[in-house]
Structure 1
Amino acid sequence: MQGASTGTVYGGLKYQARCIADVRADSDHTSFLAGTLSLKEENEVHLIRLSPSGNEISCEGLFYHQNEIWDLKSCPFDERILSTVYTSGETYVASIWKIPEITSQSNSPQLDQLVSLDEHTAKIKSVLWWPLGKHDKLVTIDERNILVWSIDSSNKIAKVISQESVGMLHNLSGGAWDPHDRNAVAAICDSSLQCWDLRTMKNANAIEHAHIRDVDYNPKKQHILATAEDEFGIRLWDLRMSKIPLKELPGHSHWTWAVRHNPEHDGLILSAGTDSTVNLWQVSVGSEDSTIDSPRDRHTRQIDPLLNSYTDYEDSIYGIAWSSQDPSVFASLSYDGRVVVESVKPYIQRN
């Protein structure tokens, strides 16, 4: 099914942008953070909130962030804390910030820097918070290393407690933290996905021969994750049988850049790409599944997993995020700074 976007549009980002994140810790509102990527201008973090009616998006806060934002995450247990990866001169660094109190006199205040995660010796790519609640550890990934940090935001202390290098022959580009296991992280590495045990800092498992751009764990089913790949589109994997994917979905007509499982509705998956499209999928995969689809099975079932394509964009889409507070809602961010918030309730009710 093809369809133009009919969602609520927030066009308030003045500059190009790649990063959007759900504010999970905001239990009262459907909120998102978006960060800009301007080389010459002072950048901004926008706190965007959906009205209770779902018909209007407002900017609840606009905060200066001097440098280009390449990665942005909201702390899952404190709505006023976030992390960014950004440029500083010719290097990339990461920091944890606190959003200042918003008052009527506030006029785009500066974020309060709590700690700088400055122990990296290679280009940092991503900051990972454990997704399901309070945890005093952070994981950061640079091109050569995985670092585990002990974080004390209240006292502005961050300390590396363990790290491991993947060696000069490999190149890390991102990853995801398993919501079912605080000790498991999946790291995107060249033509493979490496699953790391944070207790031993060793590679415990791997999915080989895939050029992966994004990875996301299924929050409802243990061992299941999705990957966005250049050649194969979207693949779903059971890490206990990592040689062959459980399911395969078509990719986008250009690069498939991001993939996200719905936080509550099992089987609902979003993907976004540089073809200016967001796709909504419905796929039945459970950790209890012991069989893998054969090509014949896929052909004979004749079930189209694509529920809808949202095509009312004019630029590449690098950022998508489901709302934790209302899992029928997602936000997408195109490179031109346009935020669109959509409801997928019709598709949930249909299924």
Structure 2
Amino acid sequence: MQGASSGIGYGLKYQARCISDVKADTDHTSFLTGTLSLKEENEVHLIRLSSGGNELICEGLFSHPNEIWDLASCPFDQRIFSTVYSTGEAYGAAIWQIPELYGELNSPQLERITSLDAHVGKIKGVLWWPSGRNDKLISIDEETLFLWSLDCSKKVAQVQSQESAGMLHNLSGGAWDPHDMNAVAAISESTTQFWDLRTMKKTNSIERAHIRNIDYNPKKKHILVTAEDESGIHIWDLRKPKVPIQELPGHAHWTWAVKCNPEQDRLILSAGTDSTVNLWLASSSTSDEFTTESLLDSPTRRIDPLLSSYSDYEDSVYGIAWSSREPWIFASLSYDGRVVVETVKALLSKK
């Protein structure tokens, strides 16, 4: 179905592709986003949904030295986040801290806690342990997976272990399993590889081409969602990884990003290069539990999994983020720097 958008907008000055929920901010629904400008001074914006829920407020605006290709908020400290950036010649990654009294300063400067500078290859992303306080970080470049120990108070990050994905694989990102601190998935052009961080060895893989993005279902063990260029969205049960347990059509062009809802185990958000964000309801057959709801899903009646489609964008949408504080709210970011925050509460009440 086509969703009539009632979204709240916010504009960045430059192009952008990264947005992150500030999970550690339990008092407000807030997001961090960063720009991707080759020639201008890049910016990190801390934006917050007003208490009335009807406008987006810029809480903080900070200059960032280079164009931002990946941004992730620390799950246990709302002032700390990571970026992957390009200097034009090379890629780097750093951990940053927002100054404590940033609201009272004229031009608040980000404090660089430390750099993740062990990489030789092109860095693709930084993964924080999904929830709670943990000193471990993962960074992924095209060839290698690094496990770091981060000490913010001493402003140091040390490599605990590292492992190459192998010559045949060109890594492009990954996800940390929220149900297992020792399990991480890394995506390459042709496979999704599963790693045990204790041994830094591969434990399994899904042979699948052109995967752009992956996300673990935070409410259900063993369930993983992948976004694929032309073939849409696939839901996998990692106990039987040969074939997906459900396929969703995805987008008219490339499906670029997927995000599972923090609370509703069947709700999936996706974004694509067709300038659209789609909201999906996965089938209840992907649930282990036998619920009364599944009895209502008649096998003869095909239920359209597309709950809503949001198309008030003029450019490709690369960034999406659910709010963990208000899990019926999500933010999306199109390449032209437009942030839109939507609520799906009305749609959920109909289900």
Question: Normalized against structure 1, the TM-score is what?
Answer: 0.95
SS at the partner of 1:264? Answer: coil
CA 1:298–1:240: 2 relative to 1, 3 Å: farther
Q: Is the contact made by 1:223 and 1:287 (CA closer than 8 Å) also made in structure 2?
A: no
CA displacement, residues 151-173 of structure 1 (integer Å, 9 cap, x when unaligned): 10111010001010012221000
Q: Is the contact made by 1:61 and 1:102 (CA closer than 8 Å) also made in structure 2?
A: no
How far does residue 103 in structure 1 lie from its aligned partner after superposition?
4.6
2:294 corresponds in structure 1 to none
For residues 223 and 103 of structure 2, what CA distance do their matches in structure 1 show?
46
Q: Is the contact made by 2:144 and 2:165 (CA closer than 8 Å) also made in structure 1?
A: yes
SS at the partner of 1:172? Answer: coil
1:293 corresponds in structure 2 to none
Q: How many residues align?
A: 344
CA 1:144–1:103: 2 relative to 1, 3 Å: closer
For residues 119 and 287 of structure 2, what CA distance do their matches in structure 1 show?
36
1:332 corresponds in structure 2 to 332
Q: Is the contact made by 1:61 and 1:108 (CA closer than 8 Å) also made in structure 2?
A: no
How far does residue 298 in structure 1 lie from its aligned partner after superposition?
11
Q: Identity of paired residues, percent?
A: 70
For residues 200 and 287 of structure 2, what CA distance do their matches in structure 1 show?
25
Instruction: Identify unmatched segments of 5+ residues in structure 2.
Output: 291-296
For residues 42 and 299 of structure 2, what CA distance do their matches in structure 1 show?
48
1:317 corresponds in structure 2 to 317
CA displacement, residues 268-293 of structure 1 (integer Å, 9 cap, x when unaligned): 11000010000001112545279xxx
For residues 150 and 178 of structure 2, what CA distance do their matches in structure 1 show?
19
1:332 alignment partner AA:
S
For residues 132 and 255 of structure 2, what CA distance do their matches in structure 1 show?
29
Instruction: Identify unmatched segments of 5+ residues in structure 1.
Output: 291-296
How far does residue 192 in structure 1 lie from its aligned partner after superposition?
0.9
For residues 177 and 85 of structure 1, what CA distance do their matches in structure 2 show?
17
1:26 corresponds in structure 2 to 25
1:197 corresponds in structure 2 to 196
How far does residue 133 in structure 1 lie from its aligned partner after superposition?
1.1
2:199 alignment partner AA:
T
Q: Is the contact made by 1:227 and 1:259 (CA closer than 8 Å) also made in structure 2?
A: yes
CA displacement, residues 297-326 of structure 1 (integer Å, 9 cap, x when unaligned): 999431001000001110100000000100
1:275 alignment partner AA:
D
Q: How does 1:158-307 map to 2 (within 5 A)?
A: 158-283=157-282, 284-286=284-286, 288=288, 300-307=300-307
Question: Normalized against structure 2, the TM-score is what?
Answer: 0.95
CA displacement, residues 124-168 of structure 1 (integer Å, 9 cap, x when unaligned): 100000111111100000000000001101110100010100122
1:77 alignment partner AA:
F
How far does residue 5 in structure 1 lie from its aligned partner after superposition?
2.2
For residues 114 and 249 of structure 2, what CA distance do their matches in structure 1 show?
41
For residues 104 and 271 of structure 1, what CA distance do their matches in structure 2 show?
34
Give the 4+ runs in structure 1 shifted more than 6 A.
none
Is the counterpart of residue 98 in structure 1 residue 105 in structure 2?
no
CA 1:67–1:126: 2 relative to 1, 3 Å: same
Q: Is the contact made by 1:238 and 1:287 (CA closer than 8 Å) also made in structure 2?
A: no
For residues 107 and 254 of structure 2, what CA distance do their matches in structure 1 show?
35
Q: Is the contact made by 2:245 and 2:286 (CA closer than 8 Å) also made in structure 1?
A: no
CA 1:148–1:338: 2 relative to 1, 3 Å: same
